């Protein structure tokens, strides 16, 4: 895994050494950030189901003002910390890592709002709707919520006041984009 663009471009991140963690590919991350374009610069971003932290670190590389990582696996939390150290990512304010499951993290984050929420829940039927239900409370009025999911499962048309605006498929993966409305 490498950072695709921005201040940390070309830096290689550590990958998991255990089964069960599915990092977002460089190509899919590049597609995601090409679609988001300049909206990343200055944004408050929430990287849910953060895994290796590659999405949040890519956002910091591209000028995000702040990133909060949510990950429940203690091994992955250590991996995020190591990857942040590799790129020296104190830029964009000190990133925050919350070690908790998604539902618990929502409770801890109560009252905070984000401009971009990027979620990568397990590839299971119904996972998108479940992740969106909780994310709706943290999405600011102009926020975009993006969920990575298996392309074989249809994305939820809407949930928690968020409506599907676009889905981009790339092999076995898909990115579904949501906004308020």
Residue found by looking up tokens 């702040």 in the block = 66
Q: What is the pTM of this model?
A: 0.91
Strands 114-119, 139-150: parallel, antiparallel or unpaired by DSSP? parallel
What is the structure's pLDDT at 12? 84
pLDDT in tens, 55-107: 999 999 999 999 999 999 999 999 999 999 988 865 446 889 999 988 899 99
Domains for the chain: give ranges and CATH numbers.
Answer: 26-161 (3.40.50.150)
Helix (H, G, I), strand (E, B) or coil at 6: coil
pLDDT for position 129: 82
pLDDT of residue 89: 65
Residue 18 burial by CB count (10 A; 0-12/13-18/19+): exposed, middle or buried? exposed
């Amino acid at each position: 895994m490498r950072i695709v663009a921005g201040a940390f471009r070309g830096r290689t991140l550590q990958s998991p050494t255990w089964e069960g963690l599915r990092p977002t590919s460089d190509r899919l991350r590049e597609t995601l950030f090409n679609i988001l374009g300049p909206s990343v610069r200055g944004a408050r971003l929430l990287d849910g189901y953060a895994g290796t932290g590659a999405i949040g670190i890519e956002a910091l590389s591209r000028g995000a003002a702040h990133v909060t990582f949510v990950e429940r696996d203690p091994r992955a939390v250590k991996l995020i910390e190591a990857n942040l150290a590799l790129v020296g990512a104190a830029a964009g304010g000190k990133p925050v890592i919350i070690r908790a499951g998604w539902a618990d993290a929502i409770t801890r984050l109560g009252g905070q709002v984000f401009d971009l929420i990027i979620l990568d829940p397990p590839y299971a039927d119904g996972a998108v709707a479940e992740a969106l239900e909780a994310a709706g409370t943290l999405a600011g009025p102009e926020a975009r919520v993006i969920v990575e999911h298996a392309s074989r499962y249809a994305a939820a048309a809407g949930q928690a006041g968020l409506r599907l605006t676009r889905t981009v498929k790339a092999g076995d993966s898909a990115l579904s984009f949501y906004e308020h409305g």
